[in-house]
Amino acid sequence: MALFKKKRDGSIAVHLNDNARAFVGEIFNQVVQAENDPNHEWHLSMNPPINPAANSDDPLATFARQKEMASNAELAQMTINEETLSAGEAYAWMTSLTLALRATVSLKNISDERALHNVDSDTRQYILTIQSLLFGIADCL
């Protein structure tokens, strides 16, 4: 059975057991903590230094991006126990999981498949699980 399935009404059914929900919920908690705590190990990968030459680093654009990031992670946290998600809630899950994946591979210096195979098995399984969840949600959006 698929982890996520798009229903006729456009909502997305979530088929995760309690352990999987706890795993995903912890990821969402980490994303929210990393956004709010400058000492969190993921914080820098989620908030890279500003490049004044880049249009995307305009302070107002950066603020809007940070606000959206926090809003999505908080929405994902609030919907962790839902049986069905709206498209917006599924998008919040997807962006939060993407942030966690990016932070993890950045922190572990994983830039390609060879580097992924050279990390410890727990980290590799963590990354592959997040990827599977992301592909499942993306298939429904």
Amino acid at site 124? R
Structure tokens at 126: 């963590």
> Which pLDDT does position 102 carry in this prediction?
93
> Which pLDDT does position 93 carry in this prediction?
97
> Which pLDDT does position 40 carry in this prediction?
85
> Which pLDDT does position 74 carry in this prediction?
92
> Which pLDDT does position 41 carry in this prediction?
87
| Sign of the dihedral defined by the CA atoms of residues 75, 92, 73, 135, in that order | positive
Q: Which residues of the chain have pLDDT under 70?
A: 47-70
Q: In what order do the strands lie in the sheet with 84-85?
A: 4-6, 12-14, 84-85
Residue written as tokens 């903590």?
A: 33
Taking the whole predicted model, whether its pTM rises above 0.75 is answered as: yes
